Amino acid sequence: MNHISFVIPGLDRIGGAESQMILLAKGLSQRGWRVSVVALSGEGGNEATKLLASGITFVSLEMLKGLADPRGWVRFNRWLRQQTPDVVHAHLPHAAWMARWSRLAAPSRVVIDTLHSSSTGTRGRKFGYQISNWLTDQVTAVSHAVADAHHAVHMATDIVVIPNGIDTETWRPDVAVRESLRHGLSLEDKFLWFAAGRLDPVKDYPTLLAAMAQLPKCSQLVVAGSGPLEPQLHQLSRDLAIESRVRFIGFEPDVKRWMRAADAFVLSSQWEGLPIALLEAAACGLPAVATDVPGTRDAVVDGETGLLVPKADAKALAAAMDHVMQSTPIDRRTMGERARQRVVNCFSLESVLNHWEALYTDLLQRNRKPSRRAS
């Protein structure tokens, strides 16, 4: 039985990269792989408990100072030498550097790392990737936009694109859930927009709130997510006099029910990798309005599965949202059905797992023995 170890900065805060890694871990475990997850810091919370219940090992290195904590390096190298995973697959920069440089002290057969964002970060991040590329067997990206962005600044030369995957049997429309939740919240005569994502600057919620202020009063917005900008966003909704039409529900472990209750999904990000929430919404049959930035272009076909607008343009965002609201229920349903079919065709979890297994198998065949550098 092949052993794969996923490495991630932490699981105490769940975003798109963490959600995708968890899906891959569970999917590969069900396919017969021995799977472990190593977090650089934190305790893992509920997600660690769920992984353990699924037969997946969870280990935290309990690093307190990021990569500068030498105890974490010692723990990780010791763990690697004891457990000898066949594949070490890292997600996000700090985990990628940890997996790469640890190869010198604890040789591995295969080291892979995945890029999740089209933002290439600081000069330090670029330099960190460039000087350690010789230690990884394969760099992958969740979208062509992500790959192109990192190619452009020479952070990697050979990048394989494997998109995020969605369990399309779990994420699907449910009329009963929709009617129940909308009735309980007295939303029968309202148009419900749903947005999901951490309350960080990259999501550009101020532009979304400014757009909401331009929409008819029958429109409602529910935002799922927590983050440092929450107080400012609450204040902005009051300043815009839309606080009665905007609901911040914080971290929501079951966004699926909100997607099933919503009429459409909206994403106002400044940049993305391949937004999982957008794919999940599409799988639930929702048309979307999203900013036309790298990452969302891979997820939305403009005019067919949703509408794309320039980023940081509240007027354009409001116009597109109003266009969706003014379209007929049949037209919205048709757009949502096309969105779901595209996710089924291009982003189903089973298809994505097949791609990952093919890549792992190819690299393992090329790397028969542990090595201190990439093949």
Yes or no: say if 273 and 296 are a contact pair by the CB < 8 Å rule: no
DSSP 197: S
Instruction: Kindly tell me if the per-residue pLDDT of 7 is higher than 80.
Output: yes
In a domain, 123, yes or no: yes
Query: Residues 27, 146: one domain?
Result: yes
The reply to whether 371 falls in a domain is no
If pLDDT is split at 50, 70 and 90, which confidence band does 161 have? very high
At 227 the pLDDT is 92
Distance CA 321, CA 218 (A): 13
How many whole angstroms separate alpha carbon 166 and alpha carbon 155? 28
Residue 306 CA from chain centroid, whole number: 19
Q: Which of 63-72, 279-288, 337-346 has the lowest mean pLDDT?
A: 63-72
373 within some domain: no
Amino acid at 36: S
Is there a single domain that holds both residue 180 and residue 285? yes
User: Which pLDDT band, with edges at 50, 70 and 90, does 246 fall under?
Assistant: very high
Residue 231 and residue 308 in one domain:
yes
pLDDT value for 141? 96
Helices (H), 11-114: 16-30, 45-53, 70-83, 93-102
Q: How confident is the model at residue 295 (pLDDT cuts 50, 70, 90)?
A: confident
Could you read off the pLDDT of 175-197 as tens digits, one per residue? 999 999 898 888 888 999 999 99
pLDDT score of 24 more than 80:
yes
Query: What is d(CA 321, CA 315) in angstroms, rounded to the nearest whole number?
Result: 10
User: 132 and 196 share a domain?
Assistant: no
Distance CA(162)–CA(116), nearest Å, equals: 11
SS3 351: helix
pLDDT, residue 226, reads: 92
CATH number assigned to the domain comprising residue 227: 3.40.50.2000
pLDDT score, position 210? 98
- The total of structural domains in the chain comes to 2
Say yes or no: 142 and 237 in one domain.
no
The strands making up 191-196's β-sheet, listed across from edge to edge, are 246-250, 219-224, 191-196, 264-267, 288-291, 306-309
**Which pLDDT score, from 0 to 100, does residue 188 have?**
81
35 pLDDT tier (thresholds 50, 70, 90):
very high
Same domain, 154 and 257: no
Overall size of the chain counted in residues? 375
CB 87 within 8 A of CB 4: yes
Burial code (b: 16+ CB inside 10 Å, e: under 16) for 306-339 equals bbbbebebbebbbbbbbebbeeeeeebeebbebb
375 located within any domain = no
Q: What is the mean pLDDT of residues 331-353?
A: 96
290 is written with which tokens?
Answer: 């999203």
Chain-wide mean pLDDT for the chain? 94
Does 342 share its domain with 250? yes
Do 159 and 135 lie in one domain? The reply is yes
The parent domain of residue 299 ranges over: 175-346
201, 234: one domain: yes
356 versus 145: which is more confidently predicted?
356
For residue range 256-288, list pLDDT tens digits in order: 999 999 999 999 999 888 999 999 999 999 999
My answer on whether 149 and 203 are in the same domain is no
Residue 82 φ/ψ region, left for φ over 0, alpha for ψ in the -120 to 50 degree band, beta for the rest:
alpha
- The answer, yes or no, to whether residue 65 has pLDDT greater than 80, is no
Rounded to whole angstroms, the Cα distance separating 59 from 57 reads 7
Q: What is the Cα–Cα distance from 230 to 298, expressed in whole angstroms? A: 29
How many Å apart are CA 156 and CA 114, to the nearest integer? 11
Res 253: pLDDT? 83
Residues 49, 103 share a domain: yes
